[in-house]
Amino acid sequence: MFITSKLYGKVNISEVEEYTVTNSNGVSISAIPFGATLTKIVTPDKNGDMADITLNVENLDDFITHRPFYGATIGRVAGRITKGHYAIGGKEYQLDVNEGNNLLHGGPDGFDTKLWHIETEIGESEGRLIFTYTSPEGENNFPGNLWVKVTYTLTEQNEWIIDYEANTDAPTLFNPTNHVYFNLTGDIKQPILNHQLYLKSDFFAPLGEENLPSGELEKVEGTPFDFTTPKQVKEAVLSDHPQIKPLNGLDHPFALSPNAGEAQGVLYEPESGREVTLYTDCNSVVVFTHNGEVDDYTIEGAPARQYAGITLETQTLPDAVNQPGFGNIILRPEETFTSQTTYKFGVRTDKK
């Protein structure tokens, strides 16, 4: 297990290093302190060939200029908040909005736009990248100072473990996620449509206007949202379902009922044999299938293609502060927020 670093770019006059943790199997994760952003995951396929299995931009300028969210730590609140408005104890709050009338992924100056402090730790069986950031009161108009720590751990068992921790000095909202996009082919020019997905989820959250949750949870049974038995992603993405066709794919929360040690999802790509197994204590995962081409920047000399990656964004169900029954995202001064998500990387040698 070892950690290396190299210059990735500059934010104003601050140099930004990319840190890479590599285990004895050759599996590695790379990240930068700008946005506490994961930049690469390198794993072997069934033939032992190593490749990056993420979709990401190629330089810091693109992160800064275009804010693609790829691999970034999202906060204070992931997803959308209806009209950027909520109430705690009868007191109403209006946040800064950045997607029409709504707040998206923390607002116009979310965690993904900040330069975090980073420390490294190395041991025999795991290496850690530890990111810390203080979000001041009033940032994106959120109340309270918020002290955040996000730890990326790579283990000898080929696990990427994300630990979130936060404290505040006034009641505020906190619902983070990581916006990593997977493409297990190792080639972002190949779409993720043939990836197979399993989710331990019997319910999904339909979207209403402006891609906001309708507030309901509907059974996946009998719909393209049913991944309780593994199936190809394209069976959902290319369907005519009225929740999917207007978006050209998935951008939906799936409700989870986590049990310790139990996998909540598996993403598998048959040609490479690569798979990612998901474990989380969150009550939902948002699956987004990169539903359109993005030509604001180029990756490997071409625009980011439609279906170039798929996210498994673990979080409390989106807009929970405005949707009864979706969960609690209010953090109070007497509390410490903790949450953990693990992505375990494996290889199947069979062709099932």
Q: What is the mean pLDDT of each run of 10 residues along the chain (352 residues)?
A: 97 96 98 98 98 97 96 98 95 97 97 98 96 98 98 98 98 98 97 98 96 96 98 98 97 93 96 98 98 94 96 98 97 98 94 48
Q: Which pLDDT value is given to residue 261? A: 87
Closest residue by Cα to residue 161 from 279, 1, 310: 279
Residues β-bridged to residue 70: none
Q: Furthest-apart CA pair in the chain: how many Å? A: 59
Domain span holding position 237 = 2-347
**CA–CA separation, 25 and 97 (whole Å):** 44
**CA–CA separation, 191 and 310 (whole Å):** 9
Residue holding tokens 């997803």? 79
Residues β-bridged to residue 164: 150, 339
Residues 6 or more apart whose CB falls under 8 angstroms from that of 51 comprise 42, 43, 45, 186, 187, 272
**CA–CA separation, 286 and 187 (whole Å):** 23
C-beta of residue 156 within 8 angstroms of C-beta of residue 125: yes
Report if residue 352 sits inside a domain. Answer: no
Residues 6 or more apart whose CB falls under 8 angstroms from that of 231 comprise 196, 197
Global pTM value: 0.97
Q: Which pLDDT value is given to residue 349? A: 87
Does a cis peptide bond (omega within 30 degrees of 0) precede residue 76? yes
CA 128 to chain centre: 18
Q: What is the CATH number of the domain that holds 53?
A: 2.70.98.10
Number of domains in the chain: 1
CA 23 to chain centre: 23
Element (H, E) at 66: helix 60-66
Q: Which pLDDT value is given to residue 352? A: 45
Q: Which pLDDT value is given to residue 154? A: 98
Q: Which pLDDT value is given to residue 260? A: 82
Q: Which residues are annotated as catalytic?
A: 179, 313
Which pair of tokens denotes residue 278?
Answer: 């998901």
Which pair of tokens denotes residue 146?
Answer: 């918020």
Closest residue by Cα to residue 317 from 167, 229, 199, 216: 216
Report if residue 282 sits inside a domain. Answer: yes
